Amino acid sequence: MGRLAQTDGLTEIQRDILATVRDFVDKEIIPVATELEHKDEYPTAIVEGMKQLGLFGLTIPEEYGGLGESLLTYALVVEEIARGWMSVSGIVNTHFIVAHMINAHGTQEQKDHFLPRMAAGEIRGAFSMSEPGLGSDVSAISTKGVKDGDFYVLNGQKMWLTNGGTSTLVAVLCKTDEGGSTPYKNMTTFLIEKEAGFGPNPKVPGLTVPGKIEKMGYKGVDTTELVLQDVRVPADRVLGGVPGRGFYQMMDGVEVGRVNVAARGCGVARRAFELGISYAQQRSTFGKKIAEHQAIQFKLAEMATKVEAAHQMMVMAARKKDGGERNDLEAGMAKYLASEYCKEVVEDAFRIHGGYGFSKEYEIERLYREAPMLLIGEGTAEIQKMIVGRRLLEEYRIAE
């Protein structure tokens, strides 16, 4: 293990967890990742291994059967997993966001009902906010929930659900129009239990997961739509028990998710650097290894600096959140920096590989197709810059 992306101040437990995950990634993920990715095959054996390691309950409190670890521990675990195969980190990411939302905002009954089974990996979560015409404008949400006695009736179409087919619990954001003074106070999060699979859901009449969306990269993990036609959800499955809080609950989840995406960018960039510096010491041109050419050394130096900078920014954002501080500034910076640097490091590693980087026999080809997803996941670079810019103006506002 090289000196890049080290984290100071970790406990012995955190170091043991990371060592276990790193060993799992090296032995169980990296050797099969490219083959599974090319087949677009769900990594069932890898997921079972993660369940046995307790990773689905990593941040769930011990009272509910989890490990009760911090966001920092989780982010560092995600970094290691993404280093092996980014799609696998996506399988745990949405699960973690939903578990975090239930733990932070759910009623006691909801916590008791969901969290123990989520910790064991028996229930796996998906997160549903986006819609086909929504983009980054959450206020334009059109999926609607209408109160009907002790139920809500949901109608609409959601988009870009990671784990939409394989999940058995979906947190769905809907417009409820129950008297809020702004659009953001008229949104509610519903917890919908369903069966895994595609097509009409036998457990939830009116709920359909049409099928997997074909993607350029980020394969293996299923990305889907979600169609709701007169889906009846009990009122006690409103997250927190009170309607109108959904936007703020979702934004809390997204804020945590941005740290996660930053961690994924760090992991993919680190793997690209490892592949690039290894290949540079094997490939010869003009009578010497290409690593001895100054142009390649400059490129490796730039790549390593970006890997290190992104990692430290991600760690800072996670520690802010763990400390109970507002971290939207740091999370936005971390997500923006890590995703942009990831793209650049992957491209440089691709260039180092030359023509072989274009071959599916080489791992860098897969990373080259995976990196672009990080540029848009959990908010584009432009959204992150808006968040950061507004927060900076708050912090540095001059007296009038």
Query: Any idea which residues carry the catalytic annotation?
Result: 378
CA 4: distance to chain centroid? 22
Tokens 């510096």 -> residue: 277
Give the span between the Cα atoms of 115 and 30, in whole angstroms. 30
Phi, psi of 379 (to 5 degrees): 105, 130
For residue 80, give both structure tokens: 């290691």
How many other C-beta atoms are found inside a 10 Å radius of the C-beta of residue 222? Answer: 25
CB neighbour list of residue 146: distance below 8 Å, 6 or more residues apart: 152, 153, 155, 176
What's the rounded Cα separation, in Å, for the pair 90 and 223? 10
User: DSSP strand E in the chain: where?
Assistant: 125-128, 144-148, 151-162, 169-175, 187-193, 199-200, 207-209, 223-234, 284-285, 288-289
Cβ atoms of 365 and 357 closer than 8 Å? yes
SS3 of 166, please?
coil
Is there a contact between 248 and 188 (Cβ–Cβ < 8 Å)? no
